Amino acid sequence: MSELDYENYRDFCSRRKKEREINSPIPGMVRRIYKNAGDKIKENEIVAIIECMKTYVEIRSKEDGTVTEVLAKENKFIEKSGTILKYVVEK
């Protein structure tokens, strides 16, 4: 591997480590998504609400970051462990 390839690979790996996902802990209907791409999220902030068996579950962020992509859609079904959104950690 050339020096340039190694530097690009290392840079790629460092960026990937900071990108995280918020996944659904249960299967259910996505009722509300509070964030869009580019929005900031704070630790323990509600980012979505999922309905499962007539119970509404608040999905919260685990750390501060910036949303890069929202994959779930409101009023659509999401599987258990389905990705709701992706974000980049801010440190």
Q: Which two tokens stand for residue 47?
A: 């980012």
In order of 9, 24, 53, 59, 68, the CA distances from 80 in angstroms are 32, 6, 14, 13, 21
pTM for the full predicted model: 0.76
Q: Give the number of residues written for the chain.
A: 91
Tens digit of pLDDT for each residue in 15-70?
555 889 999 999 999 999 999 999 999 999 999 999 999 999 999 999 999 999 99
- Which pLDDT value is given to residue 31? 97
Whether the CB-CB separation of 30 and 76 falls below 8 Å is answered with: yes
- Which pLDDT value is given to residue 18? 82
Count CB neighbours of 5 within 10 A: 9
